[in-house]
């Protein structure tokens, strides 16, 4: 059997990062192919290549044996490729029928939109996937599962032949997931080629016919699901080699600094208990959406937990705002630095001193010389490359902006520093600098929490690793158990091999 859609030798890079390197992927009519890989393996990038949002630098896309190019998203849609995303991209204020037909609505002879044909067509499409939705409902009144149905009906309305489901179950309830499985069966029966992207092994084994594994932007292997075991897939996902070099660590662990007990939030996490010591780097690993960042944001006073106690040096501290967190000695370097970390319009030195202004000012007035001194001290330690501290932050490269954000937090002289995905999206050189710097901070006695989805980084930098899944701590991994397999199994909820 020949594949409907076939990718060969696809490469795509971004400044400093090779997102995809010479990968291949085949999709067959009437079959579900699961794309499996860790966070950052290149799954979202390949979806964007398939839907015409990114253009690869190299490689070919073949449909029914004819090579094609997707220069725009419209090209991909015209070729019959459609994607249904985690968060559906639909319009809440329009009706179900309007959403289904938007952009290619049936017309009357006068060139106006034919509302009757639109309604009937929508009804027919919805029925074909077993949905009983009224096409005139406002989309915003529907739940996520129903919105998925509308998205799929929309995909079918364009006569899509390739349907990409990008983590479709992430926001669904148990019952809704089973309805989705039925829907996938319906699509298979209609002869669609389906690409199913999921982190969850039980789902993959349940509905996929074939699998393709990516790792670090490279193709690792493919095959029939029936011939694969969980162990093999985990092996392929994590690989054997840890090819990055991490700085030596002192492992000089002291007294407990931060103790978190019975920490819970109504919807995001429950029963979080851990202790962080002086000089320690504690890794938090889990799949995206496991609740790691949410715990850290609560510790930093951004969201309010419902239960639990936070102790610093044995003293109970109540943290209701970021201001109180900083006063308690906890600082948080957020994952989304552009949005949450950097104020690009302000000069570098003003970014650095923003949380420390009470220290650099005297009797309510700012002292610029003092601010320059403080920011020079900390940016020099981080080896910041900038022509002047008066330069606007927005003019620096991503790696250098990251250094300014970290300098800002260090300047507050914290007891505990929480780094959320500290090396995400920065180039290799800056990565190494950040790692080295983390090791230095720990050696100086700072207590460090590192939230990271990169297994080599978690294993290479941490003294201990806490694994979270679905808002709970699943495992605490130390010593000999600190292997890629242990982490992946715990995060995905697979029993450990005997």
Q: What is the DSSP letter of 193?
A: E
Residue 411 CB, shortest distance to other proteins, in Å, is 11
Torsion of CA 463, 281, 252, 400, to 10 degrees: 130
82/375 with CB nearer other proteins: 375
Q: Does position 403 bind other proteins by CB under 8 A?
A: no
Q: Does position 13 bind other proteins by CB under 8 A?
A: no
Residue 397 CB, shortest distance to other proteins, in Å, is 8
**Interface region with other proteins, contact rule CB under 8 A, candidates 54-62, 181-189, 337-345, 469-477:** 337-345
Q: How far apart are CA 56 and CA 21, in angstroms?
A: 10
Residues 88, 169, 350, 452: which binds other proteins (CB under 8 A)? 350
The SS3 assignment for 371 reads helix
60/340 with CB nearer other proteins: 340
Residues 124, 251, 344, 373: which binds other proteins (CB under 8 A)? 344
Residues 221, 308, 355, 445: which binds other proteins (CB under 8 A)? 355
Cβ atoms of residues 247 and 159 within 8 Å: no
Residues counted in the chain: 498
Residue 12 CB neighbour total at 10 angstroms: 22
Q: Does position 340 bind other proteins by CB under 8 A?
A: yes
- In the region spanning residues 299 to 328, those forming contacts with other proteins, defined by CB under 8 A, are 300, 302, 321-323, 325-326
Residues 395, 440, 483, 493: which binds other proteins (CB under 8 A)? 395
- How far, in Å, are 112, 253, 414, 453 from residue 444 at the CA level? 71, 11, 12, 25
Q: How far apart are CA 24 and CA 308, in angstroms?
A: 48
CA 162 from centre of chain = 24
Q: Does position 343 bind other proteins by CB under 8 A?
A: yes
Q: Does position 361 bind other proteins by CB under 8 A?
A: yes
Residues 17, 354, 382, 494: which binds other proteins (CB under 8 A)? 354
Give 35's strand partners: 197, 212
Residue 293 CB, shortest distance to other proteins, in Å, is 12
Q: Does position 125 bind other proteins by CB under 8 A?
A: no
Neighbouring residues of 226: CB distance < 8 A, sequence distance ≥ 6: none
- How far, in Å, are 186, 209, 261 from residue 205 at the CA level? 18, 8, 37
Residues 342, 418, 426, 450: which binds other proteins (CB under 8 A)? 342
Cβ atoms of residues 41 and 217 within 8 Å: yes
Helices (H), 136-243: 144-157, 174-189, 201-207, 230-238
Q: How far apart are CA 203 and CA 180, in angstroms?
A: 11
Give the start-end residues of each E strand in 78-159: 81-84
Residue 335 CB, shortest distance to other proteins, in Å, is 11
23/389 with CB nearer other proteins: 389
The helix-helix angle for 115-128 and 144-157 (nearest 10°) equals 110
Residue 365 CB, shortest distance to other proteins, in Å, is 5
- How far, in Å, are 34, 310, 313, 389, 426 from residue 307 at the CA level? 39, 10, 20, 43, 36
Cβ atoms of residues 126 and 115 within 8 Å: no
Residue 361 CB, shortest distance to other proteins, in Å, is 6
223/398 with CB nearer other proteins: 398
Looking up tokens 């006073």 gives 301
Q: Does position 357 bind other proteins by CB under 8 A?
A: yes
The two tokens of residue 136 are 């005139």
Residues 309, 316, 366, 428: which binds other proteins (CB under 8 A)? 366
262/345 with CB nearer other proteins: 345
Residues 329, 341, 471, 484: which binds other proteins (CB under 8 A)? 341
Residues 1, 318, 320, 365: which binds other proteins (CB under 8 A)? 365
Residues 339, 369, 479, 498: which binds other proteins (CB under 8 A)? 339
Residue 366 CB, shortest distance to other proteins, in Å, is 5
Q: Does position 407 bind other proteins by CB under 8 A?
A: no
The two tokens of residue 353 are 């001193």
**Interface region with other proteins, contact rule CB under 8 A, candidates 127-135, 238-246, 359-367, 474-482:** 359-367
Residue 404 CB, shortest distance to other proteins, in Å, is 11
Residues 80, 291, 305, 334: which binds other proteins (CB under 8 A)? 334
388 φ, ψ to 5°?
Answer: -160, 150
The helix-helix angle for 230-238 and 484-492 (nearest 10°) equals 120
Q: Which residues bind other proteins (CB under 8 A)?
A: 300, 302, 321-323, 325-326, 332, 334, 339-347, 350, 354-355, 357-358, 361, 364-366, 390, 392, 394-395, 408
């Amino acid at each position: 059997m020949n594949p409907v859609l076939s990718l060969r030798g696809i490469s795509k890079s971004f400044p400093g990062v090779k997102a995809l390197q010479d990968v291949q992927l085949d999709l067959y009519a009437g079959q579900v192919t699961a794309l499996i890989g860790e966070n950052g393996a290149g799954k979202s990038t390949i979806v964007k290549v398939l839907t015409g949002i990114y253009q690869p630098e190299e490689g070919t896309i073949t449909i029914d044996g004819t090579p094609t190019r997707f220069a725009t998203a419209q090209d991909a849609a015209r070729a019959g490729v459609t994607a249904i995303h985690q968060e559906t991209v639909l319009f809440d204020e329009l009706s179900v029928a309007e959403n289904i037909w938007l952009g290619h609505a049936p017309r009357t002879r006068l060139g106006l939109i034919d509302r009757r044909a639109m309604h009937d067509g929508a009804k027919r499409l919805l029925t074909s996937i077993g949905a009983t939705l009224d096409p005139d409902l406002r989309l915003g009144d529907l739940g996520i599962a129903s919105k998925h149905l509308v998205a799929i009906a929309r995909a079918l309305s364009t006569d899509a032949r390739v349907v990409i489901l990008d983590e479709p179950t992430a926001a669904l309830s148990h019952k809704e997931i089973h309805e989705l499985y039925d829907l996938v069966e319906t699509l298979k029966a209609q002869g669609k080629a389906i690409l199913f992207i999921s982190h969850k092994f039980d789902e993959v084994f349940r509905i996929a016919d074939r699998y393709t594994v990516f790792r670090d932007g490279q193709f690792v292997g493919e095959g029939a699901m029936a011939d694969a075991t969980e162990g093999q897939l985990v092996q392929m996902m994590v690989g054997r080699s840890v090819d990055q070099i991490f700085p030596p660590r002192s492992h000089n662990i002291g007294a407990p600094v931060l103790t978190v007990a019975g920490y819970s939030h109504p919807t995001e996490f429950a029963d979080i208990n851990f202790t962080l010591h002086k000089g320690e780097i504690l890794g938090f690993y889990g799949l995206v959406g496991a609740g790691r960042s949410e715990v850290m944001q609560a510790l930093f006073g951004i969201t309010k937990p419902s239960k639990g106690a936070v102790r610093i040096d044995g003293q109970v501290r109540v943290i209701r705002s970021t201001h109180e967190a900083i006063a308690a000695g906890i600082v948080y370097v957020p994952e989304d630095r552009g949005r949450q970390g950097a104020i690009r319009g302000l000069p570098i030195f003003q970014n650095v001193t923003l949380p420390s202004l009470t220290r650099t000012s005297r009797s309510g007035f700012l002292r610029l010389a003092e601010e320059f001194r403080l920011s020079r001290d900390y940016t020099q330690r981080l080896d910041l490359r900038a022509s002047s501290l008066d330069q606007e932050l927005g003019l620096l490269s991503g790696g250098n902006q990251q250094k300014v954000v970290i300098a800002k937090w260090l300047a507050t002289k914290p007891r505990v520093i929480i780094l959320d995905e500290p090396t995400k999206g920065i180039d290799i050189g800056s990565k190494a600098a950040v790692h080295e710097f983390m090791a230095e901070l720990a050696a100086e006695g700072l207590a460090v929490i590192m939230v990271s989805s990169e297994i080599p980084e978690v294993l290479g930098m941490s003294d201990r690793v806490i694994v979270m899944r679905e808002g709970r701590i699943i495992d605490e991994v130390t010593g000999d158990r600190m292997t890629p397999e242990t982490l992946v199994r715990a995060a995905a909820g697979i029993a450990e091999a005997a």
